[in-house]
Structure 1
Amino acid sequence: MFSLFLLLLLSVTLLFFFTLLCTTFTYFNQQKIKYFKELKIFQNYVYPVMSVHFSPDGSKIVSASYQKITVWDVASGKAIRVLEGHSSWLADAHFSQDGKTILSCATDKIICLWNAETGEEIRKFEGHENFVQCANFSPNGQIIASSSFDDTIRLWDVKSGKELKKLVGHSDNVNDVQFSPDGQTLISASSDKTIGIWRVNSGKRVYTLEGHTDIVAKVQFSRDGENIVSCSGDNTIRIWEMKSGKERQKLKGHSALVKGVQFFPDGQTIVSYSYDNTIRIWNAKTGRELQKLEGHNDCVLGLAISTNGKTIVSSSKDKTIRLWE
């Protein structure tokens, strides 16, 4: 009987240490994968850099600033093309999924589509009555969703340039709009402190996520579409369950407005950037801060993650673009 007790005790002890070992290994392995250092600085701007994005193959970067869009070669750090046409500050510019075109939006109320190879303007999309803050392609590349300080979201046909729908419901600036991975749903972030969930086909708002106590700056779906991450002027990041609309996590650490937030490709990690001049990496499940990236000496205004999740590019009010790896 005593021997049986010792055997049982030994089994439980071994199981405990095995579980602890696996958990520790997983944690430190994750830490190792997500540890970034500053690799390169791109300095060729006289104005703040409002946004920055990778090309699909990761070989180029496109950035947006005052009146100009610049395409950079990542390997050399040199500017290889400048696109001009907007008459005021750009809010964003990014590549299409196939890398053949660039989509931009600006405070001149205009959305532009460009040939990424030649830099020629293909088409303008006009209709917003105030600054256009965001414009994104649908997953199939056939529709553009845009958000504006006119409090609306608009859907556009890429080929014709025609406005398909105007989505009304927010009571203040719409700062961001993103498609779900299947292209059937839109999420929007507004200065009215809410996140809107919309159906693309009908243009109707399905429900609203509430919890932030200041403007909502950015939103994004996880790759599987099951979760939403948002950031706000209340200095927090929140993770929401898409189906139920319930808040799963509240991440605290930034000391100023969180300008943007994104999931890494693995869906388990989040990166955020803020007016506190820092970039932070978080465990999406636990809400634990894994790393703080410091280097910018003014507000971080834009950020993107490479397709493989191994490289980060950021842009700032300090007039630089920085590459982290």
Structure 2
Amino acid sequence: MNEQQQQQQTKELNGPFGSVTCVKFSPDGTKIMLASDNKTIQLWDGQFEKQIQIMKGHVYAVNDAQFSPDGNTIVSCSSDKTIKFWDVHTGMEIRTLEGHTSRVISVQFSPDGTTLASGSWDQTIRLWDVHLAKEIALLEGHSEEVNCVRFSSNGQMIVSASGDRTIGIWRVKSGERVHTLTGHFESVLRAQYSLDSRVIVSCSKDETIRIWDATSGNQLKKLKGHIGVITDLQLSSDGRTIVSCSQDNSVRLWDMNLGMQIQKLISHSHPVTGIDISPDGNTIVSSSEDGTFRLWRGL
């Protein structure tokens, strides 16, 4: 994307959703999921024209939710310390996992869908066998809450972001922590691998985005521009663009290689809480504390 190309806002959805904690496209891009502090997960069509399902069962805020790789299941985690699986087609709860001793903040399926990783305020990462619905590993080492857990594209590694200001790189098979990335000076809220798993991108309450070499753990770039906590980030599938959102009410696009901002999207009137990029790479969805969601085309 060059400086002249512009995002086109194509849809705005308003409604009493509570404070939305995450927003995600389904793997095929035909659905959008909203998780909220009103204890629910909502499923909409990909254009926000129709609500498909509403999933109720958590007794406290839903902090994160993700689709399974095949798009048939949603997993959610909550301040009620539980993890729940839901049938996308019926909206019915399938099962509940318990084991964390404090609120669960982040969940993600492995790329093959057989393993689930979860991160919690109890300072641990737990791995679960999806089919057997049981805990199979406990990863310890962070000294504050685990805000985010994400698998590498081959499923062999996990990256974690923590309130202890560090990023952990873990080997899934052994549970070994192979690197601790330091540089952020406030709580790290998100970290994720690039599609080729060679790079990790993170964001923090320190208002910076950082790019790291996933093998050596060395910091490659620091991106500054947001004025406020950076609440979420995503990488485009081609690895060229970082999309971030912040409490400064903006969504920003960054050139990954140049390490510079290429676009700033201002439309929300309150902090932006979550973003995602559609599977075809053409659309961004954003959610905000102003109670709206926006679709943007032109990535």
Q: Per the shorter chain, which TM-score range?
A: over 0.9
Opposite residue 269 of structure 1, the aligned amino acid is T
Counterpart in the other structure of 1:133: 105
Counterpart in the other structure of 2:236: 264
How far 1:78 moved relative to its partner?
2.0
User: Which of 121, 128, 131 does residue 156 from structure 1 map onto?
Assistant: 128
Counterpart in the other structure of 1:221: 193
Counterpart in the other structure of 2:214: 242
CA contact (8 A) 2:66 2:109 kept: no
Opposite residue 90 of structure 1, the aligned amino acid is V
**Gap change, CA 1:75 and 1:259, over 3 Å in 2:** closer
Counterpart in the other structure of 1:197: 169
How far 1:38 moved relative to its partner?
1.6
User: Which of 22, 25, 32 does residue 61 from structure 1 map onto?
Assistant: 32
User: Which of 289, 292, 295 does residue 320 from structure 1 map onto?
Assistant: 292
Give the secondary-structure state (helix, strand or coil) at the position aligned to 1:50.
strand
User: Which of 98, 108, 111 does residue 83 from structure 2 map onto?
Assistant: 111
What fraction of aligned residue pairs are identical, expressed as a percent?
Answer: 49
Stretches of structure 2 lacking an aligned partner (at least 5 in a row) = none
Superposed CA RMSD: 1.2
Quote the Cα distance in structure 1 between the aligned partners of 2:144 and 2:102. Answer: 12
Counterpart in the other structure of 2:150: 178
Quote the Cα distance in structure 1 between the aligned partners of 2:231 and 2:40. Answer: 21
How far 1:322 moved relative to its partner?
1.3
Quote the Cα distance in structure 2 between the aligned partners of 1:285 and 1:153. Answer: 31
Stretches of structure 1 lacking an aligned partner (at least 5 in a row) = 1-28
Q: Which has the larger radius of gyration?
A: 1
Opposite residue 280 of structure 2, the aligned amino acid is N
Aligned pair count reads 296
CA contact (8 A) 1:209 1:245 kept: yes
Matched, 1:277 2:249: yes
Give the secondary-structure state (helix, strand or coil) at the position aligned to 2:282.
coil
Counterpart in the other structure of 1:100: 72
Counterpart in the other structure of 2:260: 288
Deviations 1:33-83 (A, max 9, x none): 6x3122111222241111110011111101011111110112352212111
Quote the Cα distance in structure 1 between the aligned partners of 2:235 and 2:92. Answer: 32
Counterpart in the other structure of 1:49: 20
Matched, 1:188 2:131: no
How far 1:233 moved relative to its partner?
0.7
User: Which of 218, 222, 226 does residue 254 from structure 1 map onto?
Assistant: 226
Opposite residue 50 of structure 1, the aligned amino acid is T
Deviations 1:3-39 (A, max 9, x none): xxxxxxxxxxxxxxxxxxxxxxxxxx64456x31221
How far 1:224 moved relative to its partner?
0.4
Quote the Cα distance in structure 1 between the aligned partners of 2:227 and 2:48. Answer: 34
How far 1:301 moved relative to its partner?
1.1
CA contact (8 A) 1:48 1:320 kept: no
Matched, 1:168 2:164: no
Give the secondary-structure state (helix, strand or coil) at the position aligned to 1:87.
coil
Quote the Cα distance in structure 1 between the aligned partners of 2:224 and 2:39. Answer: 35
- The TM-score with structure 1 as length reference comes to 0.89
Quote the Cα distance in structure 1 between the aligned partners of 2:245 and 2:18. Answer: 19
Opposite residue 37 of structure 1, the aligned amino acid is Q
Per mean C-alpha deviation after superposition, the further-off stretch among 300-309 and 142-151 is 300-309
Matched, 1:142 2:82: no
CA contact (8 A) 1:197 1:206 kept: yes
Bigger fraction of residues in strand: 2
Opposite residue 22 of structure 2, the aligned amino acid is S
Matched, 1:124 2:107: no
Opposite residue 245 of structure 1, the aligned amino acid is G
Matched, 1:311 2:289: no
Give the secondary-structure state (helix, strand or coil) at the position aligned to 2:59.
strand
Per mean C-alpha deviation after superposition, the further-off stretch among 142-151 and 261-270 is 261-270
Quote the Cα distance in structure 2 between the aligned partners of 1:230 and 1:97. Answer: 23
Counterpart in the other structure of 1:209: 181
Per mean C-alpha deviation after superposition, the further-off stretch among 257-266 and 75-84 is 75-84
Opposite residue 187 of structure 1, the aligned amino acid is V
CA contact (8 A) 2:13 2:48 kept: no
